[in-house]
Protein backbone atom coordinates (compact mmCIF):
# COMPACT_ATOMS: atom_id res chain seq x y z
CA UNK A 1 0.00 0.00 0.00
CA UNK A 2 2.81 2.36 0.90
CA UNK A 3 4.57 1.51 -2.37
CA UNK A 4 1.47 2.36 -4.41
CA UNK A 5 1.08 5.66 -2.55
CA UNK A 6 4.74 6.50 -3.11
CA UNK A 7 4.45 5.61 -6.81
CA UNK A 8 1.46 7.91 -7.30
CA UNK A 9 3.11 10.70 -5.33
CA UNK A 10 6.28 10.44 -7.41
CA UNK A 11 4.47 10.29 -10.77
CA UNK A 12 2.02 13.08 -10.06
CA UNK A 13 4.74 15.24 -8.55
CA UNK A 14 6.92 14.67 -11.61
CA UNK A 15 3.95 15.47 -13.86
CA UNK A 16 3.44 18.77 -12.03
CA UNK A 17 7.13 19.60 -12.30
CA UNK A 18 7.00 18.64 -15.98
CA UNK A 19 4.08 20.95 -16.75
CA UNK A 20 5.86 23.83 -15.01
CA UNK A 21 9.01 22.98 -16.96
CA UNK A 22 7.12 23.13 -20.23
CA UNK A 23 5.99 26.61 -19.18
CA UNK A 24 9.65 27.48 -18.51
CA UNK A 25 10.44 26.17 -21.99
CA UNK A 26 7.78 28.39 -23.63
CA UNK A 27 8.71 31.43 -21.54
CA UNK A 28 12.44 31.16 -22.29
CA UNK A 29 11.65 30.64 -25.98
CA UNK A 30 9.46 33.75 -25.90
CA UNK A 31 12.14 35.81 -24.21
CA UNK A 32 14.76 34.67 -26.72
CA UNK A 33 12.37 35.93 -29.44
CA UNK A 34 11.77 39.28 -27.67
CA UNK A 35 8.20 38.49 -26.79
CA UNK A 36 6.22 38.04 -23.59
CA UNK A 37 5.02 34.45 -23.78
CA UNK A 38 2.14 32.54 -22.19
CA UNK A 39 0.96 32.82 -18.56
CA UNK A 40 2.20 30.36 -15.93
CA UNK A 41 -0.82 28.05 -16.04
CA UNK A 42 -0.96 27.80 -19.84
CA UNK A 43 0.08 24.10 -20.01
CA UNK A 44 -2.74 23.29 -17.58
CA UNK A 45 -5.23 25.26 -19.69
CA UNK A 46 -4.09 23.32 -22.75
CA UNK A 47 -4.71 19.98 -21.04
CA UNK A 48 -8.08 21.12 -19.66
CA UNK A 49 -9.14 22.24 -23.11
CA UNK A 50 -8.07 18.99 -24.74
CA UNK A 51 -10.02 16.96 -22.21
CA UNK A 52 -13.17 18.81 -23.29
CA UNK A 53 -12.86 18.04 -27.00
CA UNK A 54 -14.27 15.02 -28.75
CA UNK A 55 -12.11 12.07 -29.74
CA UNK A 56 -12.11 11.44 -33.47
CA UNK A 57 -10.84 8.11 -34.76
CA UNK A 58 -10.34 7.78 -38.50
CA UNK A 59 -12.02 4.90 -40.31
CA UNK A 60 -8.71 3.48 -41.41
CA UNK A 61 -7.24 3.42 -37.93
CA UNK A 62 -6.96 0.35 -35.72
CA UNK A 63 -9.04 1.89 -32.94
CA UNK A 64 -7.99 -0.07 -29.87
CA UNK A 65 -4.23 0.07 -30.43
CA UNK A 66 -4.47 3.68 -31.57
CA UNK A 67 -6.19 4.73 -28.33
CA UNK A 68 -4.22 2.49 -25.95
CA UNK A 69 -0.75 3.43 -27.19
CA UNK A 70 -0.61 6.89 -25.51
CA UNK A 71 -1.69 5.34 -22.20
CA UNK A 72 1.08 2.73 -22.40
CA UNK A 73 3.65 5.45 -23.09
CA UNK A 74 2.37 7.54 -20.20
CA UNK A 75 2.48 4.58 -17.80
CA UNK A 76 6.05 3.73 -18.78
CA UNK A 77 7.19 7.32 -18.27
CA UNK A 78 5.50 7.36 -14.85
CA UNK A 79 7.34 4.17 -13.85
CA UNK A 80 10.69 5.64 -14.94
CA UNK A 81 9.94 8.81 -12.94
CA UNK A 82 9.11 6.80 -9.83
CA UNK A 83 12.32 4.74 -10.12
CA UNK A 84 14.47 7.86 -10.50
CA UNK A 85 12.89 9.44 -7.43
CA UNK A 86 13.38 6.24 -5.44
CA UNK A 87 17.08 6.23 -6.32
CA UNK A 88 17.40 9.87 -5.27
CA UNK A 89 15.28 9.95 -2.13
CA UNK A 90 16.07 6.49 -0.74
CA UNK A 91 19.32 5.35 -2.40
CA UNK A 92 19.74 2.43 -0.03
CA UNK A 93 16.45 0.87 -1.19
CA UNK A 94 17.21 1.14 -4.91
CA UNK A 95 17.97 -2.24 -6.46
CA UNK A 96 21.00 -3.20 -8.52
CA UNK A 97 20.17 -2.98 -12.23
CA UNK A 98 17.69 -0.14 -12.00
CA UNK A 99 19.85 1.93 -14.36
CA UNK A 100 19.28 -0.67 -17.07
CA UNK A 101 15.56 -0.82 -16.29
CA UNK A 102 15.21 2.97 -16.47
CA UNK A 103 16.98 3.12 -19.84
CA UNK A 104 14.75 0.34 -21.18
CA UNK A 105 11.54 1.81 -19.80
CA UNK A 106 12.38 5.23 -21.23
CA UNK A 107 12.32 3.75 -24.75
CA UNK A 108 8.69 2.71 -24.30
CA UNK A 109 7.12 6.17 -24.83
CA UNK A 110 8.91 6.41 -28.18
CA UNK A 111 7.76 2.89 -29.12
CA UNK A 112 4.21 3.68 -28.05
CA UNK A 113 4.32 6.79 -30.20
CA UNK A 114 5.52 4.73 -33.16
CA UNK A 115 2.79 2.14 -32.61
CA UNK A 116 0.10 4.78 -32.30
CA UNK A 117 1.30 6.58 -35.41
CA UNK A 118 1.31 3.40 -37.48
CA UNK A 119 -2.07 2.35 -36.07
CA UNK A 120 -3.60 5.64 -37.16
CA UNK A 121 -3.57 4.76 -40.84
CA UNK A 122 -2.25 8.10 -42.03
CA UNK A 123 0.70 8.30 -44.45
CA UNK A 124 2.05 11.45 -42.77
CA UNK A 125 2.06 9.66 -39.43
CA UNK A 126 3.75 6.66 -41.03
CA UNK A 127 6.64 8.83 -42.21
CA UNK A 128 6.83 10.37 -38.72
CA UNK A 129 6.91 6.87 -37.21
CA UNK A 130 9.67 5.70 -39.53
CA UNK A 131 11.75 8.76 -38.66
CA UNK A 132 11.18 8.19 -34.97
CA UNK A 133 12.32 4.58 -35.34
CA UNK A 134 15.55 5.64 -37.02
CA UNK A 135 16.13 8.35 -34.43
CA UNK A 136 15.57 5.84 -31.61
CA UNK A 137 18.16 3.47 -33.09
CA UNK A 138 20.55 6.37 -33.55
CA UNK A 139 20.55 7.96 -30.10
CA UNK A 140 20.23 4.88 -27.90
CA UNK A 141 23.83 3.82 -28.61
CA UNK A 142 25.60 6.99 -27.38
CA UNK A 143 23.10 7.28 -24.51
CA UNK A 144 23.98 3.81 -23.20
CA UNK A 145 27.72 4.39 -23.71
CA UNK A 146 27.53 7.66 -21.77
CA UNK A 147 25.59 5.95 -18.96
CA UNK A 148 28.46 3.45 -18.58
CA UNK A 149 30.96 6.19 -17.66
CA UNK A 150 29.64 6.76 -14.10
CA UNK A 151 29.53 2.96 -13.65
CA UNK A 152 33.20 2.64 -14.63
CA UNK A 153 34.16 5.56 -12.40
CA UNK A 154 32.37 3.86 -9.50
CA UNK A 155 34.29 0.69 -10.29
CA UNK A 156 37.57 2.30 -9.33
CA UNK A 157 36.33 3.25 -5.88
CA UNK A 158 36.86 0.61 -3.16
CA UNK A 159 33.46 0.79 -1.42
CA UNK A 160 31.19 0.54 -4.44
CA UNK A 161 32.49 -1.46 -7.33
CA UNK A 162 31.03 -1.25 -10.85
CA UNK A 163 27.31 -1.75 -10.09
CA UNK A 164 24.47 -0.70 -12.41
CA UNK A 165 22.62 0.98 -9.59
CA UNK A 166 21.33 4.55 -9.64
CA UNK A 167 21.13 4.58 -5.85
CA UNK A 168 24.81 3.61 -5.60
CA UNK A 169 25.65 6.39 -8.10
CA UNK A 170 23.96 8.96 -5.88
CA UNK A 171 25.76 7.69 -2.80
CA UNK A 172 29.12 7.52 -4.62
CA UNK A 173 28.85 11.11 -5.86
CA UNK A 174 27.91 12.25 -2.36
CA UNK A 175 31.36 11.14 -1.23
CA UNK A 176 33.63 11.40 -4.24
CA UNK A 177 32.23 14.50 -5.97
CA UNK A 178 30.30 14.86 -9.21
CA UNK A 179 30.98 12.62 -12.18
CA UNK A 180 30.98 15.84 -14.24
CA UNK A 181 34.19 16.94 -12.49
CA UNK A 182 36.42 14.75 -14.64
CA UNK A 183 37.46 14.67 -18.28
CA UNK A 184 35.48 11.54 -19.09
CA UNK A 185 32.53 12.95 -17.15
CA UNK A 186 32.42 16.14 -19.19
CA UNK A 187 32.50 14.26 -22.49
CA UNK A 188 29.88 11.78 -21.34
CA UNK A 189 27.64 14.54 -20.00
CA UNK A 190 27.78 16.45 -23.29
CA UNK A 191 26.89 13.27 -25.20
CA UNK A 192 24.08 12.46 -22.76
CA UNK A 193 22.64 15.99 -23.01
CA UNK A 194 22.34 15.74 -26.79
CA UNK A 195 20.88 12.24 -26.60
CA UNK A 196 18.30 13.48 -24.10
CA UNK A 197 17.46 16.31 -26.51
CA UNK A 198 16.64 13.61 -29.07
CA UNK A 199 14.67 11.57 -26.56
CA UNK A 200 12.52 14.61 -25.83
CA UNK A 201 12.09 15.09 -29.62
CA UNK A 202 13.16 18.71 -29.37
CA UNK A 203 14.88 20.69 -32.10
CA UNK A 204 17.40 19.93 -33.59
CA UNK A 205 16.00 16.39 -33.45
CA UNK A 206 12.25 16.95 -33.65
CA UNK A 207 11.78 15.22 -37.00
CA UNK A 208 9.02 12.85 -35.87
CA UNK A 209 6.78 15.81 -35.09
CA UNK A 210 7.95 18.19 -37.76
CA UNK A 211 5.07 20.63 -37.85
CA UNK A 212 5.80 22.37 -41.07
CA UNK A 213 6.82 19.23 -42.93
CA UNK A 214 4.59 16.50 -41.67
CA UNK A 215 1.52 18.38 -40.38
CA UNK A 216 2.07 17.11 -36.89
CA UNK A 217 3.93 13.91 -37.71
CA UNK A 218 3.31 10.95 -35.50
CA UNK A 219 0.67 12.71 -33.38
CA UNK A 220 -1.27 13.84 -36.43
CA UNK A 221 -4.43 11.79 -36.02
CA UNK A 222 -4.84 12.26 -32.27
CA UNK A 223 -7.50 14.64 -30.93
CA UNK A 224 -9.05 15.43 -27.58
CA UNK A 225 -8.20 13.28 -24.52
CA UNK A 226 -5.66 10.95 -26.27
CA UNK A 227 -3.78 14.04 -27.43
CA UNK A 228 -3.88 15.29 -23.83
CA UNK A 229 -2.27 12.01 -22.69
CA UNK A 230 0.46 12.44 -25.35
CA UNK A 231 1.20 15.95 -24.14
CA UNK A 232 1.25 14.79 -20.52
CA UNK A 233 3.77 12.11 -21.53
CA UNK A 234 5.94 14.78 -23.13
CA UNK A 235 5.69 16.85 -19.94
CA UNK A 236 6.71 13.81 -17.87
CA UNK A 237 9.71 13.17 -20.12
CA UNK A 238 10.67 16.85 -19.85
CA UNK A 239 10.83 16.36 -16.09
CA UNK A 240 12.52 12.94 -16.23
CA UNK A 241 15.37 13.82 -18.58
CA UNK A 242 16.99 16.56 -16.43
CA UNK A 243 16.48 14.41 -13.33
CA UNK A 244 18.24 11.48 -15.05
CA UNK A 245 21.06 13.80 -16.11
CA UNK A 246 21.39 15.20 -12.59
CA UNK A 247 21.41 11.70 -11.05
CA UNK A 248 24.11 10.41 -13.35
CA UNK A 249 26.42 13.40 -13.67
CA UNK A 250 25.55 16.09 -11.13
CA UNK A 251 25.18 14.07 -7.97
CA UNK A 252 21.38 13.98 -7.79
CA UNK A 253 19.87 14.54 -4.39
CA UNK A 254 22.97 14.10 -2.23
CA UNK A 255 21.15 14.00 1.10
CA UNK A 256 17.39 13.50 1.22
CA UNK A 257 17.08 14.94 4.72
CA UNK A 258 18.84 18.24 4.14
CA UNK A 259 16.86 21.18 2.72
CA UNK A 260 19.98 22.58 1.03
CA UNK A 261 20.41 19.54 -1.15
CA UNK A 262 16.74 19.74 -2.29
CA UNK A 263 17.42 23.36 -3.23
CA UNK A 264 20.62 22.26 -5.00
CA UNK A 265 18.66 19.62 -6.92
CA UNK A 266 16.15 22.26 -8.01
CA UNK A 267 19.05 24.44 -9.18
CA UNK A 268 20.68 21.58 -11.11
CA UNK A 269 17.31 20.72 -12.63
CA UNK A 270 16.64 24.29 -13.76
CA UNK A 271 20.10 24.66 -15.30
CA UNK A 272 19.61 21.49 -17.38
CA UNK A 273 16.11 22.56 -18.48
CA UNK A 274 17.35 25.99 -19.56
CA UNK A 275 20.28 24.37 -21.42
CA UNK A 276 17.88 22.07 -23.27
CA UNK A 277 15.63 25.02 -24.15
CA UNK A 278 18.52 27.20 -25.35
CA UNK A 279 19.81 24.39 -27.57
CA UNK A 280 16.26 24.09 -28.88
CA UNK A 281 16.04 27.78 -29.73
CA UNK A 282 19.36 28.28 -31.41
CA UNK A 283 19.48 25.37 -33.82
CA UNK A 284 17.73 24.36 -37.05
CA UNK A 285 16.14 20.97 -37.51
CA UNK A 286 18.36 18.18 -38.82
CA UNK A 287 17.29 15.78 -41.56
CA UNK A 288 17.01 12.16 -40.53
CA UNK A 289 20.19 11.10 -42.34
CA UNK A 290 22.09 14.02 -40.81
CA UNK A 291 20.77 13.09 -37.38
CA UNK A 292 21.69 9.40 -37.69
CA UNK A 293 25.17 10.30 -38.92
CA UNK A 294 25.55 12.77 -36.06
CA UNK A 295 24.71 10.17 -33.43
CA UNK A 296 26.52 7.15 -34.87
CA UNK A 297 29.58 8.82 -36.45
CA UNK A 298 29.84 11.89 -34.20
CA UNK A 299 28.59 11.20 -30.69
CA UNK A 300 29.19 7.46 -30.40
CA UNK A 301 32.98 7.77 -30.92
CA UNK A 302 33.07 10.65 -28.41
CA UNK A 303 31.19 8.49 -25.90
CA UNK A 304 33.55 5.58 -26.57
CA UNK A 305 36.50 7.94 -25.99
CA UNK A 306 34.92 9.04 -22.71
CA UNK A 307 34.58 5.38 -21.69
CA UNK A 308 38.25 4.72 -22.51
CA UNK A 309 39.29 7.79 -20.48
CA UNK A 310 37.16 6.60 -17.58
CA UNK A 311 38.79 3.15 -17.66
CA UNK A 312 42.23 4.79 -17.72
CA UNK A 313 41.34 6.84 -14.65
CA UNK A 314 40.65 10.38 -15.98
CA UNK B 1 -20.52 22.54 -21.42
CA UNK B 2 -19.24 25.44 -19.36
CA UNK B 3 -15.80 24.09 -18.49
CA UNK B 4 -15.18 23.00 -22.07
CA UNK B 5 -15.73 26.52 -23.40
CA UNK B 6 -13.63 27.86 -20.53
CA UNK B 7 -10.76 25.70 -21.72
CA UNK B 8 -11.39 26.72 -25.31
CA UNK B 9 -11.19 30.41 -24.43
CA UNK B 10 -7.90 29.97 -22.59
CA UNK B 11 -6.07 28.00 -25.23
CA UNK B 12 -7.46 28.26 -28.78
CA UNK B 13 -5.23 26.41 -31.21
CA UNK B 14 -5.54 27.59 -34.80
CA UNK B 15 -5.25 25.78 -38.12
CA UNK B 16 -4.98 27.74 -41.31
CA UNK B 17 -7.07 26.60 -44.33
CA UNK B 18 -6.71 28.29 -47.68
CA UNK B 19 -9.66 27.47 -49.93
CA UNK B 20 -8.79 29.61 -52.91
CA UNK B 21 -7.30 32.87 -51.64
CA UNK B 22 -5.05 35.23 -53.53
CA UNK B 23 -2.54 34.76 -50.66
CA UNK B 24 -2.90 38.29 -49.29
CA UNK B 25 -4.98 37.13 -46.32
CA UNK B 26 -2.60 34.19 -45.86
CA UNK B 27 0.33 36.57 -45.57
CA UNK B 28 -1.56 38.60 -42.98
CA UNK B 29 -2.43 35.44 -41.03
CA UNK B 30 1.23 34.47 -41.06
CA UNK B 31 2.14 37.95 -39.85
CA UNK B 32 -0.34 37.54 -37.01
CA UNK B 33 1.58 34.48 -35.84
CA UNK B 34 4.98 36.20 -35.78
CA UNK B 35 6.66 37.39 -32.56
CA UNK B 36 5.60 41.01 -33.19
CA UNK B 37 1.96 40.37 -32.27
CA UNK B 38 2.81 37.57 -29.81
CA UNK B 39 -0.49 35.71 -29.83
CA UNK B 40 1.03 33.02 -27.60
CA UNK B 41 0.16 35.36 -24.73
CA UNK B 42 -3.46 34.30 -25.29
CA UNK B 43 -2.57 30.65 -25.63
CA UNK B 44 -2.95 30.73 -29.42
CA UNK B 45 -0.53 28.43 -31.27
CA UNK B 46 -0.46 27.27 -34.84
CA UNK B 47 -0.97 23.53 -35.14
CA UNK B 48 -0.17 21.34 -38.11
CA UNK B 49 -3.26 19.16 -38.11
CA UNK B 50 -7.00 19.97 -38.12
CA UNK B 51 -7.46 17.26 -35.52
CA UNK B 52 -5.49 19.35 -33.04
CA UNK B 53 -7.30 22.60 -33.90
CA UNK B 54 -9.96 24.63 -32.09
CA UNK B 55 -10.24 27.44 -34.59
CA UNK B 56 -10.11 27.17 -38.36
CA UNK B 57 -8.78 30.30 -40.05
CA UNK B 58 -10.41 29.99 -43.46
CA UNK B 59 -9.13 32.35 -46.14
CA UNK B 60 -10.27 32.66 -49.68
CA UNK B 61 -13.29 32.31 -51.83
CA UNK B 62 -14.49 28.75 -51.50
CA UNK B 63 -13.96 27.51 -55.05
CA UNK B 64 -16.10 24.63 -56.23
CA UNK B 65 -13.09 22.31 -56.18
CA UNK B 66 -12.26 23.24 -52.61
CA UNK B 67 -15.79 22.75 -51.21
CA UNK B 68 -15.63 19.02 -50.42
CA UNK B 69 -12.13 19.48 -49.02
CA UNK B 70 -13.25 22.28 -46.72
CA UNK B 71 -16.10 20.10 -45.51
CA UNK B 72 -13.69 17.23 -44.88
CA UNK B 73 -11.36 19.50 -42.88
CA UNK B 74 -14.31 20.81 -40.84
CA UNK B 75 -15.46 17.28 -40.07
CA UNK B 76 -11.96 16.35 -38.96
CA UNK B 77 -11.87 19.21 -36.45
CA UNK B 78 -13.09 18.00 -33.06
CA UNK B 79 -16.01 19.98 -31.68
CA UNK B 80 -16.41 22.44 -30.03
CA UNK B 81 -14.64 24.57 -32.63
CA UNK B 82 -14.93 28.04 -34.16
CA UNK B 83 -14.61 28.87 -37.84
CA UNK B 84 -13.11 32.27 -38.66
CA UNK B 85 -13.82 33.60 -42.14
CA UNK B 86 -10.78 35.81 -42.69
CA UNK B 87 -11.15 38.45 -45.35
CA UNK B 88 -14.04 39.63 -47.44
CA UNK B 89 -13.69 36.75 -49.90
CA UNK B 90 -14.35 34.17 -47.20
CA UNK B 91 -17.20 36.22 -45.69
CA UNK B 92 -19.20 36.97 -48.81
CA UNK B 93 -17.16 36.24 -51.92
CA UNK B 94 -15.78 39.75 -52.22
CA UNK B 95 -14.90 40.91 -55.72
CA UNK B 96 -15.16 37.34 -57.01
CA UNK B 97 -18.85 37.04 -56.13
CA UNK B 98 -20.01 36.72 -59.75
CA UNK B 99 -17.00 34.77 -60.99
CA UNK B 100 -17.22 31.35 -62.62
CA UNK B 101 -15.37 29.50 -59.89
CA UNK B 102 -17.45 30.81 -56.98
CA UNK B 103 -20.50 28.87 -55.81
CA UNK B 104 -21.32 29.70 -52.20
CA UNK B 105 -19.51 31.58 -49.45
CA UNK B 106 -17.67 29.66 -46.70
CA UNK B 107 -20.37 30.00 -44.05
CA UNK B 108 -23.04 28.43 -46.24
CA UNK B 109 -20.71 25.56 -47.12
CA UNK B 110 -20.12 24.83 -43.45
CA UNK B 111 -23.72 25.38 -42.31
CA UNK B 112 -24.76 22.75 -44.83
CA UNK B 113 -23.05 20.01 -42.85
CA UNK B 114 -23.40 21.59 -39.41
CA UNK B 115 -26.26 24.06 -38.91
CA UNK B 116 -25.04 24.80 -35.40
CA UNK B 117 -21.51 25.77 -36.45
CA UNK B 118 -19.94 28.74 -34.69
CA UNK B 119 -18.72 31.09 -37.41
CA UNK B 120 -17.03 34.47 -36.95
CA UNK B 121 -16.44 36.99 -39.73
CA UNK B 122 -13.35 39.17 -40.04
CA UNK B 123 -13.84 41.42 -43.08
CA UNK B 124 -11.05 43.28 -44.82
CA UNK B 125 -9.00 42.92 -47.94
CA UNK B 126 -6.81 41.87 -46.29
CA UNK B 127 -7.76 42.37 -42.63
CA UNK B 128 -4.99 43.73 -40.47
CA UNK B 129 -3.60 41.43 -37.79
CA UNK B 130 -5.08 43.80 -35.18
CA UNK B 131 -8.46 43.24 -36.81
CA UNK B 132 -8.01 39.49 -36.60
CA UNK B 133 -7.12 39.73 -32.92
CA UNK B 134 -10.25 41.84 -32.34
CA UNK B 135 -12.34 39.27 -34.18
CA UNK B 136 -10.86 36.44 -32.13
CA UNK B 137 -11.47 38.27 -28.85
CA UNK B 138 -15.08 39.05 -29.78
CA UNK B 139 -15.78 35.52 -30.98
CA UNK B 140 -14.29 33.86 -27.91
CA UNK B 141 -16.10 36.36 -25.72
CA UNK B 142 -19.49 35.21 -26.98
CA UNK B 143 -18.82 31.53 -26.17
How do residues B25-71 score in pLDDT, each as one tens digit? 999 999 998 889 988 988 999 888 899 999 999 999 999 999 999 99
CB B108 within 8 A of CB B94: no
Measured CA to CA in angstroms, residue A61 lies from A22, A110, A283, B92 at distances of: 30, 19, 35, 37
Q: Domain extents for chain B?
A: 12-141
Distance from CA of A47 to the nearest CA of B (A): 8
Using a CB–CB cutoff of 8 Å, tell me whether A51 touches chain B.
Answer: yes
- Using left for φ > 0, alpha for ψ between -120 and 50, and beta otherwise, residue A114 falls in alpha
Mean pLDDT value across residues A234-256? 90
CB-CB under 8 Å, A46 with B11: yes
Q: Which chain A residues are within 8 Å of B74, Cβ to Cβ?
A: none
Q: Which chain B residues are within 8 Å of A220, Cβ to Cβ?
A: 48-49, 51
**ipTM here:** 0.91
Burial bucket for residue B142 (CB in 10 Å: 0-12, 13-18, 19+): exposed
CB-CB under 8 Å, A36 with B49: no
Does residue A111 have a pLDDT over 90?
Answer: yes
CB-CB under 8 Å, A49 with B11: yes
Q: Which chain B residues are within 8 Å of A53, Cβ to Cβ?
A: 4, 54, 78-80
Terminal CA-CA length for chain A: 45
Mean pLDDT value across residues B89-101? 91
Using a CB–CB cutoff of 8 Å, tell me whether A102 touches chain B.
Answer: no
CB A149 within 8 A of CB A180: no
Q: Reduced to 3 states, what is the DSSP secondary structure of residue A75? A: helix
pLDDT of res. A213: 63
Q: Domain extents for chain A?
A: 2-312
Enter the pTM of the model: 0.91
Q: Which CATH architecture has domain B12-141?
A: 3-Layer(aba) Sandwich (3.40)
For chain A, the average pLDDT equals: 90
Bridge partners of B59, per DSSP, are: B18, B86
Mean pLDDT value across residues A98-103? 92
Mean pLDDT value across residues A170-193? 89
Mean pLDDT value across residues A65-72? 92
Distance from CA of A43 to the nearest CA of B (A): 9
CB-CB under 8 Å, A216 with B4: no
CB-CB under 8 Å, A211 with B78: no
Which site among A38, A40, A55, A230 would you substitute to test the B interface, given the most B Cβ atoms closer than 10 Å to its Cβ?
A38
> Cα–Cα distance between A25 and A273 in angstroms, integer?
8
pLDDT of res. A138: 93
Does residue A212 have a pLDDT over 80?
Answer: no
Q: Which chain A residues are within 8 Å of B40, Cβ to Cβ?
A: 26, 30, 35, 37-38
Amino acid sequence: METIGAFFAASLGTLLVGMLSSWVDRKVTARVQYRVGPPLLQPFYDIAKLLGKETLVSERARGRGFLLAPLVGFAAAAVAAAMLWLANVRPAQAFVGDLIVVIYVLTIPALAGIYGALASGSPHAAIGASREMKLLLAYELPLVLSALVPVVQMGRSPDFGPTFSLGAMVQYQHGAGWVLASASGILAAAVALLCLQAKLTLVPFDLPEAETELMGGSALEYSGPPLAVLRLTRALLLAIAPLYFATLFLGGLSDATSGWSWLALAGKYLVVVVLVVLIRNTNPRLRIDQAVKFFWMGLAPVAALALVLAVLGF
Amino acid sequence: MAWQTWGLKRSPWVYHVNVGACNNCDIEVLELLTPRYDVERFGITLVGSPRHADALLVTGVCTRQAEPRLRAVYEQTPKPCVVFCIGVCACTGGIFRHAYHFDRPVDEVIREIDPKAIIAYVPGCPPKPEGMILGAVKALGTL
